[in-house]
Structure 1
Amino acid sequence: MIFRPNPAFDRFTAEGALVGRMLSSFGEIEVSLCRNAAQATLLGDTLMKALYAIRTTSTRIETAHRLMQPYFKQHGILDDYQNTMDTVWHCLKIRNQYAHCNWGDNLTAGLFFADLQVSADSDNFSHTWRHVDVPLLEQQFTYFGWTMEMIEFTHHEMGVKMGHIQSHVWPRPKVPAPAPLHNPPYEHVPPWLSEDEKALHLARALASQGGPRHRHPDNRLSTRLGRRNTPDRKSSAERAERGSRTQKDVLIHLRNNSGRASPSRIDRGGSHLNTMHLLCHGYNVQQNACFCVLNWTRLKTCIIVHEVNTNHHNEQQVGVAHGW
C-alpha cells in the first residue's frame, strides 16, 4: 500500500494497537449493559431491539439506564449499579475522544490527538493537543476490563435478587479510580507549534487545572472585563482551592516549555504578587481569590502584570517582568 491512512500509528504501533482495542471493545461494554437492562425489566429481546433502534450510543445508554435504575433500587443493589454506570460513562468518554479525533506525532515528543470539533469553536481553528503513551493507554484499557467485571457482577446480583439463580461466585470488583483521559498537557507541548501556539497550549492546560476559562476573542482586556459580571468571591476562592498551582508553578511551566528564561519574580513596587489570574490569549487560570492578571502580550520580550479591581472594573499596570 502506498498511502498510509494514519502514519502516526505506523510510527507508534503499540499505542495504535491499544487505541484500536478500546474502540473495538466498547461495543461489548455497551451490549452487556443493555443486556442488564433487558434482564432487570423482564423485556428481553423486545427491549434489546428497541435500544439498538436508537442510533446514538450515548442516548442508547441513557435510555437503558433510565429503564433499569428503578429495578436495581427496588432490589437493594443501587450502589453497585451506580458505581457500574460511573465506569461505563467514563469508558464512553475515553472511547469518544479517540473515535472523533485526529492524530499528530513527533519521534521525540510522542503521540498527540486533537478533537477538531473543539477546534471549530476557537477563533482561528487552533487545536487542543493531548498526549498519550503506552502506560496511559494500558491503564485505560485495564479500566475497560474493570468496567466489564462490574457489569457482570451486577448482572449476577440481579439474577439472584430476581430468583433466576440461587447464588453466584462472581466477586464484587473493587471500584477503580477513573483512568486519566490523557497525560498532563502542561508537561507535553507539541514541538511543531509556534511560540504563540505553545503559549496558548500552556494557558489552556493550566486553565483546565486551576479554574474556568474566560474568552476574550478580540484581546481587549479592559473592555471585556468591564462587561463581565463581578465574580462571587467565595466561589472564586473555592475554585482556587481546587487548583494547586502557584504563581511560581505557572512561571516554571512556562519557562520549561518555552525554553526561555522566565523572571524569578514579578515586582509591584518591590513586593511579590503571590496570587493572580493567568490570562493568555483569552484563557484564564485562577490561582487564588485575588484579582490580578498576567497578560501575555504579543511582544515576546515581557509579561505585563495588571491588577483588576472587580468592584469598579478598573485596570492598571502594576509591573513589568522582562527576560521572557
Structure 2
Amino acid sequence: MTRRQRARLIYNPSAGKEALRNQLPDLLDILERGGLEVSCAMTRGANDASVAARQASLEHFDYVIAAGGDGTINEVVNGLSDMEYRPTLGVLPAGTTNDLARALCLPRDLKKACEIIVGRHAMPMDVGRIGDGYFINIAGCGRLTELTYEVPSKLKTHLGQLAYYVKGLEKLPGLKSIHLDIDSPDFAYEGKAMLCLIANSNSVGGFEKLAPNAKLHDGLFDVILVKQLSLPELVTLARLALKGQHVNSDRVVYFQTETLTISSPDLVELNLDGEFGGHLPQRFHCLKHHMKVLVAEPEGTKLLDR
C-alpha cells in the first residue's frame, strides 16, 4: 500500500478575523480527502509556530502548512530554515495582509487555498537571512515600518487592513528621517532616509507593486530606499506606490543585490515580515531556492517565468 503523505497544519486561531477557527473542520476534510494525513498544532504564544515547524522537520513530514498571517508564516520559515531536511511549505492565508499569499497568487478563500495544497505543485522559493533569523517577504527599517508590529491584535481582528491606515495617520506628523550606511556589491549609500525596505517578494504591506521587479525565486533582494522628504512629498510618493511608479522618483533609490550590510549611528529598529526583528547593524543575505512552496500549477509556471 502506498504511504499517505503527511502534513502538519500549524495554525494561529486568532489570525485575521478568526475565520480560520470556524472553518477548520471543513479545511481538514478537504486536505484528508485530497490524500494527506493531517495533524494539527495550534499556536498559543510567540515562537510556538517555529517550535512546531522544527518538530515536523525532525519527524520528516512531507508538508508543513502555515495557516495564519505573515507573522505565523515567518515563524514557520524560521523553524524550518536551519534544518537539514525542510518539508515543502503550504500556505493558508488567514491573516490581515497576507503578503506571501499575494506574491504567490494564492486565493484568500481558505477552502480554495486548500485545494491548491492538495494539488501538490511546488516551486522553489528564496529566503532572506539576517544573523540567526530568517524572513520571507520583507526586512525594513525606518519609523514607518514600525506600524505593523505596533497595531494591536484586537484592532487588526476587527478592522483588518484598515487598522494599519488608522495607525499610519496617527504617526504621520511625527515621522523623522534616520541616518543609514548601506554597503553592498551593487550599491552604496550614506545619508538620511525615511525608510529602507529589503524585499524578497513584490507584495509589501498589501502594496503589490512596491517592489515591482521582485521575484521569490531569483536569488536577489529588491532594495527600496526613500530619501529624506517632506510630509506632502511622502503623501505623493505613497500615492505613486499604489501604481508602482514610485521607483521613478528622484527621492527613491531602487536596486537589486544578493547581500548587503546596513548600519546606523542611531538606534534603529528592524521589521521582519511585520514583526519586531531587533536593531541595526545587520547583514542580509538572500538564500536562493532555500525552500519549496505549494502554488497553483498554472500560476506557478507564470511566477517562474515572470
TM-score, reference length from structure 1: 0.22
* Higher relative contact order, structure no. (Cα contacts within 8 Å, ≥ 6 residues apart): 2
Query: Which structure: greater helix fraction?
Result: 1
TM-score, reference length from structure 2: 0.23
Query: Which structure: greater strand fraction?
Result: 2
Task: State which structure, 1 or 2, has the greater radius of gyration over its C-alpha atoms.
Answer: 1
